[in-house]
Amino acid sequence: MDLLDFHGEQMYFDQPVDPEVAELLAQAAHEYGDDDAESHLLRAYFLAPEDLSVLVALYRYFYYRHRYADALIVAERAIALTADRLGVDRDWRRLDTEALGHAVLASMTLTRFLLLALKGAGYLKLRLGEIAAGLECFEKVDALDDSDRLGIHDLLTIARAKLAEEQVAARDDNVHFLRR
């Protein structure tokens, strides 16, 4: 499936942002380095908990602050909300090419966003040391993006190598333990 074939859809999301929420997002961006930025983002979230623009802003804030566990919560929320809007299963593990085809008919932009959010969740899981879980996310994106438009192959290689290292280390630990 060609995930770059947008057919002129809006670049982000179909729904306009509430003006109060937009102002809070602008304030957060302006005060990014200050602690007040987070309070603006959280207020925006409380006002519009299903607004994907708010979730993207929260994700980026937490990510760039190296608060990966918080960013992962946001990514998982974005995945669930986007799946609902597309009419696909919230459990991305059950997403297949047939369901993706139906999702594309609803919105190519949201379908691409769903897969990018899944890629982001996988990356965060890697950063949190959850290598197998991150690899699972990457493998799902890879299975659905056969042209690698979302650039998952390099991350797959890294995750597979890291998982292999973990497995070797675990075997070595077991052998060392048994030799005692």
The pLDDT assigned to 179 comes to: 67
- State the pTM of this model: 0.86
User: Mean pLDDT by 10-residue block, N- to C-terminus, for the chain (180 residues)?
Assistant: 38 74 93 88 96 94 95 98 96 95 93 96 97 96 92 92 87 64
Tell me the DSSP string of the chain: --TT--TT--SS-SSPPPHHHHHHHHHHHHTTTSTHHHHHHHHHHHH-TT-HHHHHHHHHHHHHTT-HHHHHHHHHHHHHHHHHHHTS-S-GGG--HHHHHHHHHH-HHHHHHHHHHHHHHHHHHHHTT-HHHHHHHHHHHHHH-TT-TT--HHHHHHHHHHHHHHHHHHHHHHHHHHH-
Right CATH for 19-179 from 1.25.40.10, 1.10.287.3510, 1.10.490.10, 3.50.30.30:
1.25.40.10
